[in-house]
């Protein structure tokens, strides 16, 4: 499978990146991959895995040292995505990295007290953080959310619902999108509020899913939850831009993940077709099979090249913001379509075995749709990209 393992690109990944990659690859192969199927069937994984990952420095990557983190550039985040994808199980990755979308708003705009209280225990793996934006009334329609937070003295009183929340059952801290000015419609009047997991009036219901079985996903209900006003992140009624900025890093991370999952499918397909024979000839030597494998390779390489190029532009500030947002949106579309294609082709090449639970391709086939919908659906991504480009 030498053709699948391209050498590292020095202008993207330094020796330090590759050293971290080697350590993370060993961690995933030792601690996660052998257990993915069992954890999926159990619909959970040990909470202790957070602390073991924190000891590796994974949880704190990209955060200031004063909060227990390790400063890192965007390519370290790509390494995390690519190496976690190797386990072939999105559920573990999704919950393990839920803090990567829950903490950035706090780090960017939270008070010093809030940062000190929330960020260090999460980066140490002792606490779990989740992001709660999506509501039953509209998934990607952030501007029209209905959960309200009304100021009452030193507290906000929160009422409403959130759904499809990753780590929603386990989370100790929930970074929540709320409407603090109900009279204002659209993107105005939206704020960011950190709601503690033990807040009275908060109820959580686990959700059954097509994929990501080992990741807890919850429906949250807020019934007159009193949240300290000190838990406000940034300025009241100006939270929309905080969330929008947060989406960029999430979508780039998901793009790298999708490429990684697609490659897992390709590798499983290559192994299988080399082992299986038809009329005494390995399937991998049949032209139709070889073409399928190359079609998979082509899509992975094209998507990954776009992701790397975008990461380089972000790191070196080489693009104007609007164009960058557009290309990130399109990268997510391109990468998740590559993942979908490769999962479909791998299951086809594995035949009956590809339909059996326990193969990586079968699991990834079920998990494709959450990657194409989560973080902004394909339709929303294309429309946003068009608007950013002035089309």
Contact 180, 149 (CB under 8 A): yes
Phi, psi of 319 (to 5 degrees): -130, 150
Distance CA 77, CA 59 (A): 11
Residues with a catalytic annotation lie at 250
Distance CA 110, CA 192 (A): 9
| SS3 state of residue 161 | strand
- CB neighbour list of residue 335: distance below 8 Å, 6 or more residues apart: 254, 255, 256, 258, 259, 262, 303, 304, 306, 307
For the beta carbon of residue 11, count every other beta carbon within 10 angstroms: 8
- Residues β-bridged to residue 324: none
Distance CA 41, CA 128 (A): 22
Distance CA 161, CA 337 (A): 31
């Amino acid at each position: 499978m030498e053709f699948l393992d391209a050498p590292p690109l020095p202008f993207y990944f330094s020796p330090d990146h590759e050293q971290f990659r080697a350590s993370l690859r060993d961690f995933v192969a030792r601690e996660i991959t052998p257990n993915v199927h069992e954890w999926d069937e159990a619909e959970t994984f040990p909470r202790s895995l957070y602390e073991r990952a924190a000891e590796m420095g994974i949880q704190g990557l990209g955060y200031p040292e004063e909060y227990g983190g390790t400063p890192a550039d965007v390519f370290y985040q790509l390494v995390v995505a690519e190496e976690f994808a190797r386990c072939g199980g999105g559920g573990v990755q999704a919950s393990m990295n839920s803090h990567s979308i829950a903490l950035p708003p706090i780090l960017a705009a939270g008070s010093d007290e809030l940062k000190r209280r929330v960020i260090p225990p999460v980066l140490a793996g002792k606490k779990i953080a989740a992001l709660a934006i999506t509501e039953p009334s509209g998934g990607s329609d952030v501007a029209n959310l209905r959960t309200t937070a009304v100021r009452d003295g030193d507290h906000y009183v929160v009422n409403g619902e959130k759904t499809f929340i990753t780590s929603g059952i386990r989370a100790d801290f929930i970074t929540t999108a709320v409407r603090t000015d109900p009279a204002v419609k659209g993107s105005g009047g939206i704020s960011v509020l950190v709601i503690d997991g033990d807040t009275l009036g908060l109820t959580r219901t686990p959700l059954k899913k097509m994929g990501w079985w080992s990741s807890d996903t919850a429906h949250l209900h807020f019934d007159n939850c009193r949240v300290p006003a000190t838990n406000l992140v940034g300025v009241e009624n100006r939270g929309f831009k905080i969330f929008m900025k947060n989406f960029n890093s999430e979508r780039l991370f998901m793009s790298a993940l999708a490429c990684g999952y697609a490659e897992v499918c390709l590798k499983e397909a290559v192994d299988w077709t080399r082992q299986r024979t038809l009329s005494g000839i390995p399937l991998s030597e049949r032209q139709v099979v070889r073409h399928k494998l190359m079609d998979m390779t082509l899509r992975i390489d094209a998507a990954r090249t776009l992701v790397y190029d975008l990461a380089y532009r972000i790191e070196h500030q080489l693009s104007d913001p609007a164009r960058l947002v557009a290309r990130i949106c399109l990268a997510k579309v391109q990468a998740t379509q590559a993942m979908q294609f490769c999962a479909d082709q791998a299951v086809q090449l594995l035949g009956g075995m590809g339909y059996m639970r326990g193969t990586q391709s079968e699991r990834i086939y079920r998990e494709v749709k959450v990657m194409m919908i989560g973080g902004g659906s394909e339709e929303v991504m294309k429309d946003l990209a068009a608007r950013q480009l002035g089309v």
